[in-house]
């Protein structure tokens, strides 16, 4: 299934795509796409519905974040060897964990907002993992049992804030709209191998990133298990798993985003995002 949320910011309703790619409204079935509806039982209930009998959503509504009520937005840095190389960083021997504020989460086509003081606004196309079942100390063999599905993430980053303003990465990762997710959550049964997905991104029509999750240093199964050794993972949490080479900070000369530019990115089978860069007011 491809599950989504549609409507104005703060008023999103749950939905799913039908076989023709049209949005069907789920608000008569569930209140929202939160942790409760992402369990195996909750997804089985949605899977059993007659999709064609659900109300059709007309027009082209705004798409919101594909999951609501997220408690943790966890991110993995330097998880592709080519990205570590382009940024002249040491290849990590354990996953490099940082967090993004949950308040940066936005819809897949909402604008990327360049915050005040930003001078190094960058892009990162990534595979996102959405947790569907709470757990801690999860065995690697059981990790996928805790995954509801997958989505596209743009881990928008301000490198000056991230690397040159002291402290931890979170400062450069958490401004408004630094976390576009979606367009939809694709349930794990439709992604048999999350380590075989192409990840790409374009800026103003120029291809900047073109990689594959096969090149991850730490795969999805390992990451879910690893993170659960240090904190409880809860349904609705998001793990964004790192980015391949091609970020602005890795170019020569370094190249960063400015208002007016457009970003398009996607992951095979998970849809696309389209964003306009705007200045904060």
- 220, 195 contact by CB (below 8 A): yes
Residue indicated by tokens 């795969």: 219
**Cβ contacts of 21 within 8 Å, gap of 6 or more:** none
pLDDT band at 204 (very low <50, low <70, confident <90, very high): very high
The C-alpha atoms of residue 109 and residue 183 are separated, in whole angstroms, by 8
Model confidence at 87: pLDDT above 90? no
Quote the tokens at residue 212.
């594959």
pLDDT band at 86 (very low <50, low <70, confident <90, very high): confident
Q: Are strands 2-6 and 157-158 parallel, antiparallel or unpaired?
A: unpaired
Predicted confidence (pLDDT) per residue in 110-123, tens digit: 999 999 999 999 99
Distance from first CA to last CA of the chain, Å, rounded?
A: 38
pLDDT, residue 234, reads 98
For CA atoms 107, 108, 110, 115, the dihedral sign is positive
| Ordered structural domains, the chain, with CATH | 2-53 (no CATH), 73-279 (3.90.850.10)
- 79, 97 contact by CB (below 8 A): no
Q: Which of 73, 72, 74, 81 is nearest to 218 (CA)?
A: 81
Quote the tokens at residue 7.
């409507």
Quote the tokens at residue 227.
């993170």
Quote the tokens at residue 244.
């391949």
Predicted confidence (pLDDT) per residue in 127-153, tens digit: 999 999 999 999 999 999 999 999 999
pLDDT, residue 110, reads 98
Alpha-carbon distances, residue 105 vs 132, 134, 207, 274 (angstroms): 18, 21, 24, 15
Residue indicated by tokens 């909402």: 110
Query: Is the full-model pTM beyond 0.95?
Result: yes
Radius of gyration of the chain, Cα coordinates, nearest whole angstrom: 18
Model confidence at 164: pLDDT above 90? no
Mean per-residue pLDDT over the chain, rounded: 96
């Amino acid at each position: 299934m491809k599950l989504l949320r549609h409507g104005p910011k703060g008023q999103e309703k749950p939905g799913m795509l039908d076989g023709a790619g049209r949005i069907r409204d789920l608000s008569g079935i569930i209140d929202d796409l939160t942790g409760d509806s992402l369990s195996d039982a909750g997804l089985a209930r949605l899977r059993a519905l007659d999709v064609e009998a659900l109300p059709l959503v007309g027009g082209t509504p705004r798409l919101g974040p594909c999951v609501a009520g997220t408690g943790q937005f966890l991110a993995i840095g330097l998880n592709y060897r080519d990205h570590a190389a382009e940024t002249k960083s040491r290849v990590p021997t354990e996953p490099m964990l940082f967090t993004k504020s949950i308040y940066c989460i936005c819809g897949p086509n909402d604008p990327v907002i360049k915050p005040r003081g930003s001078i190094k606004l960058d892009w990162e196309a990534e595979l996102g993992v959405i947790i569907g079942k709470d757990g801690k100390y999860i065995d690697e063999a059981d990790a996928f049992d805790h995954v509801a599905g997958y989505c596209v993430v743009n881990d928008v980053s301000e490198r000056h804030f991230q690397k040159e303003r002291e402290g931890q990465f979170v400062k450069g990762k958490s401004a408004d709209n630094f976390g576009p997710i979606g367009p939809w959550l694709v349930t794990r049964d439709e992604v048999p191998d999350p380590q075989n997905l192409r990840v790409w991104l374009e800026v103003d029509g120029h291809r900047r990133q073109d990689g594959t999750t096969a090149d991850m240093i730490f795969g999805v199964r390992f990451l879910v298990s690893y993170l659960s050794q240090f904190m409880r993972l809860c349904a609705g949490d998001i793990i964004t798993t790192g980015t391949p080479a091609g970020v602005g900070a890795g170019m020569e000369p370094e190249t960063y985003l400015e208002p007016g530019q457009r970003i398009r990115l996607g992951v095979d089978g998970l849809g696309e995002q389209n964003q306009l860069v705007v200045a904060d007011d």
